[in-house]
Amino acid sequence: QAKLKTKAKDPYPDWKAGTPVPYAALCTTFSLIELTTKRLEITEHCALFLRQVLRLTPDDFLPTVLLMINKLAPDYAGIELGIGESLIMKAIGETTGRSLQVIKADQKEIGDLGLVAVKSRSTQPTMFKPKPLTVRGVHKGLMEVATVTGNGAQGRKVDLIKKLLSSADSHSIGKIDIYQDKGGPSEAKFIVRFLEGKLRLGLAEKTVLVSIAQAVVCHEAEQEGKVPSTTQMEEGEAVLKTVYSELPSWDVIVPAMVSNGIMKLGEACKLQPGVPLKPMLAKPTKAITEVLDRFENQAFTCEYKYDGERAQIHYVAKDHADEYVNALPGATKEAAKGVASIFSRNSEDLSKKYPDILAKLHTWVKEGTKSFVLDCETVAWDVNEKKVLPFQQLMTRKKKDVKLQDVKVKVCVFAFDLLFLNGEPVVKKSLRERRELLHDAFVPVEGEFAFATHMNGQEIDEIQTFLDESVKASCEGLMVKMLDGTESGYEPSKRSRNWLKIKKDYLAGVGDSLDLVVLGAYYGKGKRTSVYGAFLLACYNNKTDTYETVCNIGTGFSEQVLEDLHKQLSEITIDRPKPFYSHSSGGQHQPDVWFEPRYVWEVKTADLTLSPRYKAGAKEGVDPSGEKGISLRFPRFIKIRDDKKPDEATSSRQVAEMYRKQEAVTKNKGPSADDD
Ligand code: ATP
């Protein structure tokens, strides 16, 4: 460790106070991170580098953080690179004078386009020396790639990538031996990996957050000639975690932190309309008795679990519009009487999907309600029968550029939580208080806006009856929530024990459905020869940033769905599995085609079992030998989860939890059944 640090010391003599951060310096840190898998070392490398940025070039702190987390802007800004493997290969080929065929062959052999870019460069003599890349320059260049639109956009994207690649690796640093086996601290490698959406450093956003906190606390102490205490480090981290969970936008947080310091960040950066927060999520349960065990002597409340699309509605009345963070692209849309946006579970902007909600919003608001953030479910609504329609109806609605006059599937908004009201976050208040505020601030309008139906009874029979009623009302089941005390506060981005879900179809079989990523497919047989007949699915291991296979699935698809899936998936085939796919290597278990990890499907299963063929949760201690993974028996396709990204799929840990729960239930039931 010490050796690494001395070797990496200041290899960039021309990075002086006030000059832009050399991109090569960031890549050196990436390369150091690549040499270790230890979380603490990774955090330390990151923190050391960020401290240096703060010391020398604080203006570049934001782009440095963004490049570390492989993002150009917050999710809700809707900025996507919009390029696939083939465009990147084209750019590498054209920059280095190698044919596309050779690049493709290399990619097939190496499996990492970043390393292909490195290999391509080393054979190319440098004719002239371009200006070295800087962190802010690379961020700007990548942003240009993302924002090119219109005719010939693809070609212009390739040109912009070429511009970046041809300036890569021109910084005058000496050869540093420790990197040799990894191909050197190559700028081309990390630009290409950024474009692919995976830096492959095991550098999750959470780790970067901890490094940021450490860097800022150390830097602030250093300026006062002090060394920070462990308590200060922990406090800094806690402050940043809380602030980020309420206001997940580095674009807003970083400037405030650099100018106000980290300890006062909580005062400067609070939840605010315009910046969507990651929603609170629920834990699955299998039986009402499990709910009663969990809440024991604490008051709880039950709500219908509506089956639609989650929507976070942000609103500021016109006369208070300056409270809205609207400097960010795509974040705001004009509603009739104020500024408002609707965000998905993923923080994507849904405003263009629901102009009908935006147009009516102000009529649901009582006088005196000037700004709010609501947590709701939008559900398809039968205007004639005046009732909720199944989820499938909602899915037939267009996703973008919906014109008000063309809306065919009407939606009703069911509000179940209030996170911000009249200039103040209310997430820390108890659920009982939040609900009261919610009911006081809005007026229900039939078929447009309603409060989630709830019931505060604590008896098993009452809950059973309420569950039955929810099912009759076309709901998925119940949400059961802690009602009083600090524990009942709203916990952004957390799958919390304070929110439990009981789905009607849980009550037998495995508790919850799973959301899995499609990694591969098998050609169909018989009637299904022109489409894929079965698919290989995986869960996501968020500790190792890998996809672990969990089952093959061929049930639950209609012919039309199979055709649609074939069309959609053919566009993202790749020649070989990505190195971060974990699947058994035996030949007979390999799918016919592999895909980019892009689509998430909801799947149900009869039960879970151990199998040497799959890798899900193998490292979670479910199998003592560590060889077998968990697999689904009789999996059945339910629907595509457009609102989930692959890294939001069910995690390996959750699969392991489900398996353990099932095992516990089977064991408990086993002997008593035998006893009879
Ligand atoms: P699911 O597949 O069950 O929707 P999920 O991972 O999207 O899973 P969960 O935390 O498991 O989310 O379930 C909560 C979801 O249920 C919310 O995301 C929301 O969309 C929906 N929902 C419907 N009614 C309610 C309610 N009354 N309170 C909270 N969430 C509700």
How does pLDDT run across 344-353, given as a tens digit for each residue?
A: 999 998 988 9
What ipTM was predicted for this assembly?
A: 0.96
pLDDT at 185: 61
* Banded model confidence at residue 386, pLDDT cuts 50, 70, 90: very high
Which residue, judged by its Cα, is nearest atom 15 of ligand 1? 281
- Point out the residues that are catalytic: 305
**pLDDT: is 459 or 512 the higher one?**
459
In the predicted model, what is the mean pLDDT of residues 99-103? 93
More confident call, 140 vs 458: 140
Angle among Cα 529, 561, 555 to the nearest 5 degrees reads 75
Distance 479 CA to ligand 1 centre (A): 8
Q: How confident is the model at residue 668 (pLDDT cuts 50, 70, 90)?
A: very low
Q: Which of 246, 177, 176, 254 is nearest to 212 (CA)?
A: 254
Ligand 1 centre from 460 Cα, in Å?
22
Q: Is the pLDDT of residue 332 over 70?
A: no
pLDDT, tens only, 359-373: 999 999 999 999 999
The rounded Cα 617 to chain-centroid distance in angstroms is: 20
Residue bearing the bigger pLDDT, 509 or 407: 407
399-424, pLDDT tens digit by residue? 888 888 888 899 999 999 999 999 99
| Among 608, 609, 524, residue whose Cα is nearest residue 569 | 524
List the single range of 287-291, 292-296, 428-432 with lowest mean pLDDT.
287-291
Question: Of the given ranges (57-61, 69-73, 293-297), which has the lowest mean pLDDT?
Answer: 293-297
Higher pLDDT, 217 or 605: 217
Q: How much is the pLDDT for 421? A: 97
Distance 431 CA to ligand 1 centre (A): 16
Band (pLDDT 50/70/90 cuts) for residue 619 is confident
Mean pLDDT of 437-460: 96
The confidence score (pLDDT) of residue 126 equals: 59
Q: Please tell me the distance between residue 282's alpha carbon and the centre of ligand 1 in angstroms.
A: 7
Question: Is the pLDDT score of 326 beyond 80?
Answer: no
Top mutation candidate among 375, 413, 416 for ligand 1, by most atoms within 8 Å of CB: 416
Q: How far is Cα 274 from Cα 267, in angstroms, rounded to an integer?
A: 18
Q: Where residue 5 falls among pLDDT bands split at 50, 70, 90? A: very low
pLDDT band of residue 398 (cuts 50, 70, 90) is confident
When pLDDT is averaged across residues 10-24 and rounded to a whole number, the result is 83
Confidence at 482, pLDDT banded by 50, 70, 90: very high
Average pLDDT value for residue range 594-621:
91
Q: Which residue is it, tokens 């899995």?
A: 516
Lowest-confidence segment of 187-201, 296-310, 315-329, 662-676 by average pLDDT: 662-676
What is the best residue among 306, 453, 644 to mutate for testing ligand 1's pocket, by most ligand atoms within 8 Å of CB? 306
Cα–Cα distance, 138 to 192 (Å, whole number): 12
Say yes or no to pLDDT of 666 above 90: no
Residue whose CA lies nearest to ligand 1 atom number 11: 282
Q: Whose CA is nearest to atom 17 of ligand 1?
A: 310
- State the pLDDT at residue 507: 55
CA distance 333 to 339: 6
Longest alpha-carbon distance in the chain = 86
**Does residue 242 sit in helix, strand or coil?**
helix
What distance in angstroms lies between residue 601's CA and the mean position of ligand 1's atoms?
16
Residues near 188 by beta carbon (within 8 Å), at least 6 away in sequence: 114, 117, 118, 120, 121, 165, 168, 169
**What is residue 504's predicted lDDT score, i.e. its pLDDT?**
78
| 161-167-168-172 Cα dihedral, nearest 10 degrees | -170
CB 343 within 8 A of CB 309: no
> Which protein residues are within 6 Å of ligand 1, measured from CB?
279, 281-282, 303, 305-306, 310, 345, 377, 416, 452, 479, 501
- Conformation bin of residue 246: beta by default, left when phi > 0, alpha when psi is -120 to 50: alpha
Confidence of residue 45 (pLDDT cuts 50, 70, 90): very high
Q: What is the mean pLDDT of residues 327-356?
A: 75
Q: What average pLDDT does range 45-65 have in this prediction?
A: 95
Q: Which atom of ligand 1 is nearest to the CA of 284?
A: 11
pLDDT band at 118 (very low <50, low <70, confident <90, very high): confident
Q: What is the pLDDT of residue 120?
A: 83
Q: Residue 605: pLDDT above 70?
A: yes
Exposed e or buried b per residue across 605-643, where buried means at least 16 C-beta atoms within 10 angstroms of its C-beta: beebebbeebbbbbbbebbeeeebbbbbeebbbeebbee
Q: Which residue has the higher pLDDT, 578 or 181?
A: 578
Looking at residue 525, its pLDDT comes to 82
CA of 480 to the centre of ligand 1 (A): 11
Mean pLDDT value across residues 42-68? 95
pLDDT, mean over the chain? 87
pLDDT given at position 290: 85
Probe ligand 1: pick from 277, 305, 313, max atoms within 8 Å of CB? 305
pLDDT in tens, 531-583: 999 999 999 998 888 999 999 999 889 889 999 999 999 999 998 899 899 98
> Looking at ligand 1, which residue's alpha carbon is closest to its atom 4?
307
**What percent of the chain shows pLDDT beyond 90?**
60
Torsions phi, psi for 630 (to 5 deg): -95, 145
